[in-house]
Amino acid sequence: MDPTATAEAVTEQLREALLRALSGEGAHVEAGKVLDGLDWERAGARPEDSPHSAFQIVNHLVFWQDHALAWLAGEKPPTPAHDAESWPGPERPADPAAWEDAPARFAADLERLRRHAAEDDLAARRGPKTVLYILQIVAAHNSYHFGQVVLLRQQLGAWPPPGGGFTW
């Protein structure tokens, strides 16, 4: 980073990096594309020794994105006492509509988080955390779990998505 850069320029660079991290852009297949073309039956499949299905992972991501959005709105949602409480819902979607709803909820929440990254004062505090901290944690969490979804899709023979993926 340029040592002569203004605070505003640094903030804008940080904001751009945060927006890219939330989507996965530049680091890996973008979050919005990882689920493309995954049918509801494979979304609920769990290869041997895999702890979760893609459906469960997406619902887990939605749970934590909703939690972050509540913090960003000034609420103080309780943190679950146990990890298992942040994995809502069944292993498999009941039908195609149940599967379609999960990525749609994820995408809608992600767009709201991206708006916070683009518009909020990143140094503003929400309880003990800053807006920047909350959004960075969501970005890292999503990235981690979407890596799991890619691996699951590879194990299920459902990779790459129709739009392509990094496969070198």
Mean pLDDT of the chain: 93
pLDDT, tens digit, for every residue of 93-132?
999 999 999 999 999 999 999 999 999 999 999 989 999 9
DSSP code of residue 78: P
Could you tell me the pTM of the whole model? 0.92
**Percent above pLDDT 90 for the chain:** 82
How far is Cα 105 from Cα 97, in angstroms, rounded to an integer?
A: 12
CA pair distance 110, 104, nearest whole angstrom = 10
pLDDT of residue 103: 97
What does the pLDDT read at residue 166? 63
What span, in angstroms and rounded, lies between the C-alpha atoms of 103 and 62?
Answer: 9
Query: Is residue 126 helix, strand or coil?
Result: strand
Which residues are paired to 129 by β-bridges?
A: 126
What CATH number was assigned to the domain covering residues 7-155?
Answer: 1.20.120.450
Report residue 27: phi and psi, to 5°: -100, -35
pLDDT in tens, 2-39: 666 798 998 999 999 999 999 888 778 888 889 999 99
